[in-house]
Structure 1
């Protein structure tokens, strides 16, 4: 048996609790498959890094439109948690017995903005929509993306849905829509405030925060899906997202809650 010097024995005894804790965490660590609405992908990457550091669990994030995730989950996609861009799809999944009853909650309320990379193009009242200063207006697919539905409702509230129909270019999700505007394929578009805030170069452009009265609230709900029902790590993630410090961070990303 190897004999240790008093100094070495002291170090081992001091480190032993931490080694045992690390071993216990490693033994309990799990992987959680998370379907994340495209608008929340960048914030979730930051939140996931902290969650993984604190818990020892691993998160596998998939980004896309909520409507597409709904179809994939119905077809057996093995997601444990859904972070939707609306509150309808999580409720539908629960009603269809594809999600755990009582696990739904609103983790964020999205804020829609009209944004352009061109400084001064978008005014503080959104009056640019009534002029001829642009050829293309990007929105997310209203059938798949809640932000696209909110954009369509905004145009209807403003009485511009018909007159601007010929200028619309549709992205599959809000990430694609953002790229249309960022690349210059569309002079302006309806995107999420969180996307603009996450892009340091985007702040050089111009935007209009769409008043909430012009569209239905973009309530973004999380839900525990059946594959994650027996995963403590999946439940831990949902508890983490509901915690006061994380809710404060989410507000800082450009959401209300």
Structure 2
């Protein structure tokens, strides 16, 4: 029995190690605007590679703070270039971030009696306007930029309700806590939200291009081949087709 014990333990550890390897998933930190498109991207990526993925969705600013605190993240899909650049300069990434897509801003309302327009924002019909926090979410920053350019910000600033991310902003709109709001075009084109309420594109010339970046997070004494595979996939024709369907360019 004593002679068999070492053999038993060796077999146990081999099985345990294999099981652990099989269940290990790629951890992807995803900016909230990409959460719907990411479902289709991951589905296609797993279909091609066999690699399983799990996501952590939030504002780009909050996700960056988590990565800086050594959260278990393999790859970061941001809504801008600012935060990936910040991580790169601080030594958290394998290499410089690359732009994988450009996002688009829309005005959206679920209320049947509200037709989205900039003129309606100043009327008594609109008491709450949902906007992502411009300090954390690039789409919120773009919204404020538009409102300031149109000289509307000071007029309607008391109506603005700030969500921590696009996800929370969407909840304000969907729940009708806000009669209208600004969000990413990828949200209103998603299968989950398509056909709900009405929306209009915000003129792209009224806000700075929303260049969205991606970086592979550096791990101590380890190369993450799976993360690199997803990174490469994000620039493939398959991924490009998916993102275009969600309104990115």
> Normalized against structure 1, the TM-score is what?
0.83
CA deviation after TM superposition for structure 1 residue 56, in Å: 1.4
Alignment of 1:35-184 (within 5 A): 35-102=29-96, 104-119=97-112, 121-123=114-116, 126-184=118-176
SS of the aligned residue for 2:153 comes to: coil
For residue 237 of structure 2, what is the aligned residue in structure 1? 244
Change (3 A) 1:158 1:199: farther
Residues 189 and 101 of structure 1: is their aligned pair in 2 closer, same or farther, counting only changes over 3 Å? same
4+ residue stretches of structure 1 with deviation over 6 A? 26-29
Q: Does the 8 Å CA contact 1:153/1:215 hold for their aligned counterparts?
A: yes
TM-score, normalised relative to structure 2: 0.86
Rate the CA distance shift 1:54–1:137 in 2: closer, same or farther, 3 A. same
Kindly state the Cα deviation for residue 201 of structure 1 after the two structures are TM-superposed: 5.3
- The separation in 1 between residues aligned to 2:95 and 2:53, in whole angstroms, is 22
Inter-CA distance 237–34: structure 2 relative to 1 (3 Å threshold): same
Across the two proteins, how many residue pairs are aligned to each other?
Answer: 229
Query: Is the CA contact 2:40–2:242 (under 8 Å) kept in the aligned structure 1?
Result: no
Task: Report if aligned partners of 1:79, 1:227 keep a CA contact under 8 Å in 2.
Answer: no
Q: CA RMSD in A?
A: 2.0
CA contact (8 A) 1:126 1:208 kept: no
CA gap 1:142/1:201 in 2 versus in 1, 3 angstroms: closer
8 A Cα contact 2:111 2:176, kept in partner: no
1:138–1:189 Cα contact (<8 Å) kept: yes
